[in-house]
Structure 1
Amino acid sequence: MPLLIVALAVVLLLVMMTKFKINGFIALFIAALFVGLARGMSLPKIYDAIVSGVGDQLDELILILGFGAMLGKVLADSGAAQRIATSVVNAFGISRVQFAMALTSTAIGITMFYEVGFVLLIPLVFTIVREYKLPLLWVGLPMSMTLSTMHSFLPPHPGPAAVTETFHASQGTTLLYGLPIAIVSASVVCYVWPRLAYVKRINPRLPVALITERKFDEDDLPRFGTCLLIVIIPIVLMATSAVAELSMDSGSEALGYIGFFGKAPVALLIALLLAIALLGPKVSRPEDTMKPDDGGAATARPDSSSGMVTTAAPAAGTAVAARSRFAAVMESCNEAIKPIAMIIMVIGAGGAFKEVLVKSGIAGYIADLTHGWNVSPLILAWGIAALVRVAVGSASVAVVTAAGIVLPLLHNSSTSPELMVLAVTCGSIAASHVNDPGFWLFKQYLNLSVLDTIKIRTGYTSALAVLGLGGVLLMNTIVG
């Protein structure tokens, strides 16, 4: 039975990734081979499906991941992210610290991965907690919750971006629909969760050993307006493209230009180039400072007409300094790529798994089976993503797996592909637990026990998933 094969494949993934700690990239390929063989596909057809699935899945996604990671790293290494955080807290005051942390995390989380944003903002959380004697969870939870929401709900993050490719949905329109859903869902959970009685009873101490050593002096930070411009430019470009698609003639030449600059890779590249130009000097490291013998020092020479010694302008030194600053910012960009290599590979393998499901006929079988069901495709897509997330732990694996399974439902319904993307991504955030790397990051930095982490993180991610589904269904009544 095809559905039994799917269930066994998911169980196989779970066993490989949790019990035997097999890398997700390898596990997904093994699961793809299992599905193909179980469905009677020949080995050449399985191989062709795997190769095709990897290529189709990554497509422009690899550009999104690359430019997005580089942008996030430049923001971090230049102090721009810290400037945004401190400026927002100062503007709203300590009494509104939760709102300030959520707002800051929204701005940063739109372009940064959860882990990057978390590690970047946690020093600010520790500083506020220590200085104002506030509970650690009171300040830390809104930050983590908002970053989780932005990372899981919205492109250009890996999971949502991957599903937009699968469903051939518009990145801009997905962002336009998803941003209000994400903001409302995160706001509700950020307000409610820290105030729950059992959460308030959990009062962990500051884990001093985990506080990052790096801190920018106030005078070294870039201006807030510059930082904010760089962060919001991709959002503005993508949102403008989405609005233009809905309001302009499809044959308009202007729409073509707007659509080009609204493509996620192009928008992120523009933001990255702005960050390099405006923040590049702030990325320079101490070791980049010029030495007297490197051409940067002024040189003394006798003047032939007066006999006096004059000092030559250090023009060469200025050029060396410029090259040094450029090298520093390029080093940040290079460093940004290393952590996302495995993310790219896992998503590519997920695309292979999805393609084998489709080519083996399982996806078509599910479409035939669910044809005539009085169940919303949005609810079904959300439910499958949530189940895979619980079983496997990886949100990226959950979204690409669920997308492959429910793809035929999209072809046989009038449901918006952008809302289907959001249904899948909202399901993918559900019930983070011990098989999720983010679970352990959250536990260690907030100095929690495993049981307390399950109570808090597993609970709030499940609440976000349910609220997200509600927002998708509401949005469907508005735009559907």
Structure 2
Amino acid sequence: MTRLSVEMLAADATEPITSAGNAQLGIAVLAGIAVIVLLITKFKVHAFLALTIGSLALGAFAGAPLDKAITSFTAGLGSTVAGVGVLIALGAILGKLLADSGGADQIVDTILAKASGRAMPWAMVLIASVIGLPLFFEVGIVLLIPVVLMVAKRGNYSLMKIGIPALAGLSVMHGLIPPHPGPLVAIDAIGANLGITLALGVLVAIPTVIIAGPLFGKYAARWVDVPAPEKMIPQRATEETDRRPSFGATLATVLLPVVLMLAKALVDIVVDDPESGVQRVFDVIGSPMIALLAAVIVGMFTLGRAAGFTKGRLSTTVEKSLAPIAGVLLIVGAGGGFKQTLIDVGIGQMILDFSESWAIPTLLLAWLIAVAIRLATGSATVATISAAGLVAPLAADMSSSHMALLVLAIGAGSLFFSHVNDAGFWLVKEYFGLNVGQTVKTWSVMETIISVVSLIFVLLLSLVL
């Protein structure tokens, strides 16, 4: 267990900062979430401010002294950023190197050169899944949309038949697979093992993306038949570079952190001896920070230098990669503050008390909570953070595999039915030239399929693990 996890457990074990009963606590948590929802949806307040104000409102409704509520919020914010902030930054750097060097284009072009006809939707899933590993969802969309539009136009394919598989691959990676912010925060809050979560996440992701991507894409193409909008085909990254990295080097760089983290999880299971030299080595090289740091350093050579980047250009690329994630870091940090406030006012113990008489399985409960917050706020990250904070106490007696499945259940719920309060909804609508109804029939339905199908596979895995 990491030092951060030990500190979180210690914090969870402290006395509540309020003496409120379960009824008042229940009202407080509903009021706190309602404040966040109203601020985000009605008043269009940034999620960071909404979570900050909602955390203080939660403490006030629970009858906690304001100074203690502030301390809980800042402590949670600090511990969350300490746990995942560096990982988000490293992931952003790797993604920027991949995009600017033309490595992403190399993967895209190589796979598309091998695919045609009926294989094209499957190729798009493969491209999106590989590209989506190190990239944030919005960055992945911006990167892949030109490819989707060009393939649809030049190959005379239905836009939805090509686009839905690409969107499904990106969305599944975003909701279920670390090092994306949502899964990382849930892993941190629940105390799950990252390697096991990654391995089980891949198992769930593969059938989910097949069903929500190429299979659903056939029906989406029948429901919505629109041409690729000419005005939305922007310039590709490699049109600005003289050369780009090879396919093999790019793929190896992208998969390096995944391989290292999975290797650590495998060694932990096979060796199972904390004093073993082999296990201690893999515990270091397979830790998320070292795995991503290694990929970034390797990427500077296999991606940046291979594309002809000078030292100055590499430095500029790294600098530019960090600015866009400032908002993500603040939202994630504020979400951690909200989570810690929930714990410190005694919500966790309240849920433990109620859960003794509940017949609903913990995994399904976690999914339902994430779904409710997702529908209300429109943010997958806010839904993941809030749901993880609420159900974290229920993971105390779980095995490592079931903790990982709890993370995946939350991630699945956070993707449910994206609609008009989600920025991703409008991003897809504008890039694909759809109206609101068409976006609902394609993108929103696809997100719901991902959420429900991934939950089904999580529940099935829970029966055999």
Normalised TM-score (structure 2) = 0.91
Distance 2:162 2:177 in 1: 24
For 1:423, the equivalent position in structure 2 comes to 409
Aligned pairs for 1:211-250 (under 5 A) are 211-216=233-238, 220-248=243-271, 249-250=273-274
> Map of 1:66-465 to 2, 5 A cutoff?
66-196=89-219, 199-216=221-238, 220-248=243-271, 249-284=273-308, 325-413=310-398, 416-465=402-451
User: Which amino acid in the other structure matches residue 46 of structure 1?
Assistant: A
For 2:129 and 2:235, the matched residues in 1 are separated by: 24
- Identify the range of structure 1 (172-181 vs 128-137) with the bigger mean alpha-carbon deviation: 128-137
Supply the AA of the counterpart residue of 1:108.
I
Amino acid aligned to 1:457: W
Kindly indicate whether residue 457 of structure 2 is the aligned counterpart of residue 467 of structure 1. no
In 1, the alpha carbon distance for the partners of 2:396 and 2:95 equals 36
Aligned to 1:305: none
State the partner residue of 2:30: 7
One-letter amino acid of the counterpart of residue 444, structure 2: T
Query: Structure 1 residues 9 and 199, CA, compared in 2 at 3 Å: closer, same or farther?
Result: farther
Query: Quick one: distance in 2 between partners of 1:118 and 1:178?
Result: 21
Whole-angstrom distance in 1 between the partners of 2:324 and 2:229:
25
Whether the aligned pair in 1 keeps the contact of 2:366 and 2:406 (CA below 8 Å) is yes
Question: In the TM superposition, what is the alpha-carbon distance from 1:143 to its structure 2 partner?
Answer: 0.3
RMSD of equivalent CA atoms: 1.6
Number of matched pairs = 439
Tell whether the 8 Å contact from 1:384 to 1:402 is kept in structure 2 after alignment: yes
- Which residue type is aligned with residue 435 of structure 2? S
Distance 2:178 2:305 in 1: 29
Contact 2:161 2:214 in 1 (8 A): no
Match in the other structure for 2:9 = none
Deviation at 1:250, TM superposition (A): 2.8
Q: Which among 25, 44, 54 is matched to residue 77 of structure 2?
A: 54
SS of residue matched to 1:220: coil
* Structure 1 residue identity aligned to 2:197: T
Structure 2 alignment gaps of length 5 or more: 1-22
Structure number with greater Rg is 1
Deviation at 1:253, TM superposition (A): 1.8
Q: Deviations over 1:297-353 (max 9, x none)?
A: xxxxxxxxxxxxxxxxxxxxxxxxxxx701112211111111111000001101111
Contact 2:412 2:451 in 1 (8 A): yes
Q: Alignment partner of 2:238: what SS?
A: coil
Superposed, 1:24-43 pairs within 5 Å as 24-43=47-66
Rounded Cα–Cα distance in structure 2 between residues aligned with 1:264 and 1:177? 16
CA contact (8 A) 2:245 2:303 kept: yes
Check the 8 A contact 2:267/2:282 in 1, yes or no: yes
Distance 2:289 2:443 in 1: 32
